[in-house]
A and B are shown apart, each in its own frame.
Chain A
């Protein structure tokens, strides 16, 4: 049924629209959950759209220390998000572009965004931003092995090293959720929190620059570049969310129901992040590597379990 051309086109259209438009909803949802748990009313769910519309019209301020390198970070954040959205499947329909080995490309794409964001931060010459970038690079270097060991597990399981093959394989049903998958989900959820700069690794709402990681690196951005930064990080929430949800989505008999399940799962992920943020405090900086190593160990166990 899915091979019929019109349905395929509908899928592509839905995929594209989701990648372009849905992303800013996720931070809105997370913030709403946090506000509700804290007993506040909180900003609207659509708040980020309004922020983006406002920022695009504003003029940017550039420090006299900065050069053209300062613009690379925001640009890379968004372009990488879009390119990654092209190769990650949303739900059970294979991504628009898929080839063997695209999982490796996917992981290194986010490396590009991180590297250029760090260079942008260092371009300001600010001590706080240098501190933030050192932490960001350190923590993500530790998150990388966890991501790859998870890939190894899923590749072994599905026989493919393409994201579409790993995550949206047609023979998958609900019964495949077993111990290795649960361990990979655990590990990747930690990676998700670290990569998206959420509690307990980083606190996006902190007011003290000394304790920030990701937020402090974009302190000097304003106007359109800052709009790109905000939009890009919401894209990252969406794309990495699609990655970690992929193996665990139940598969239904109707394609439209699969999409509903995907959006439902995405919303559930946002709620979960919001709840984690509400009930936990940020870890001390020197405890964060331990958390990330726990993710590495969990995914290593997942791989070992495949042979048990």
Chain B
């Protein structure tokens, strides 16, 4: 018998958030995040979660409310997408700089203009430099599992950094899947009360958010950089503990799908891994040695573990739903950097796919793999519609 309940993704995520017992939740509606916060506000309205739910006047304030509440010692939650993530971005950097263990879900959506409410991962990718830990989920079960782990990681006194759980918009929150959520007792045992190192307290006053001059600022960045590096084994440790506690695999840094015996390895994040696995399964039945490394922990970027996992690959095929316009896909760029100055030097091709909700098909994946096996490709757009004439772009 399959454990769990048939739930819409958003409901499952909201129930999981409630199991994490945040004291203050603040959010502002944006498609496709809305379902999650609607469900959460209902949970609070029904008295099933004792929390302050603050409906703010914009995402900048949603993140700011969380910052303030977290600084006052409360566990907090927020959630946004796309333009909301961009509007929050100033506060996002502020939260990590202040070392506040805020946890949020980024329901991944494209960035305007043109306005487009459908899924890609451009929004969270923009914030890869923000000092947040970023975990990308493949499905609703994993989104929920990562949420519980996210608070544990963020609030670990060895870490004290915020965590963003990224879930593909529409594909996940709007889909119905069987999701197994822990009971409150088990969730509490896995995630104890939040014990801040510093908080705003009239009995023990402190100054938070002091400014640092050139003699001090650089050290603060170095501290975050070093802490992020040191949090890689902590992400693994928490995933291991999760797997042991809940008898369900949690992969930690990345999922290894036939990587070890493959000469061609696809690297991807998020929900399109399902389609990629299908493509790989088909190719493998034809005798091709193709695998998938599905990255979960994109920040911190686990360079050593990735190098070890991919050192024997000949072709690395990065397929991603984002583009650093004018350069390459963010993930492809990062992957190439891993191999600089190392013995192994696989060909690392980069493909941009599925922007703004463009369908990602098994054939698209196979095409990318085939192209990469033939020659080096960089920021190659897969799935463009040939019948469309593009003004200013020569055919």
Q: Do A and B interact? A: no
Instruction: Report B's interface with A, CB cutoff 8 A.
Output: none
Instruction: Report A's interface with B, CB cutoff 8 A.
Output: none
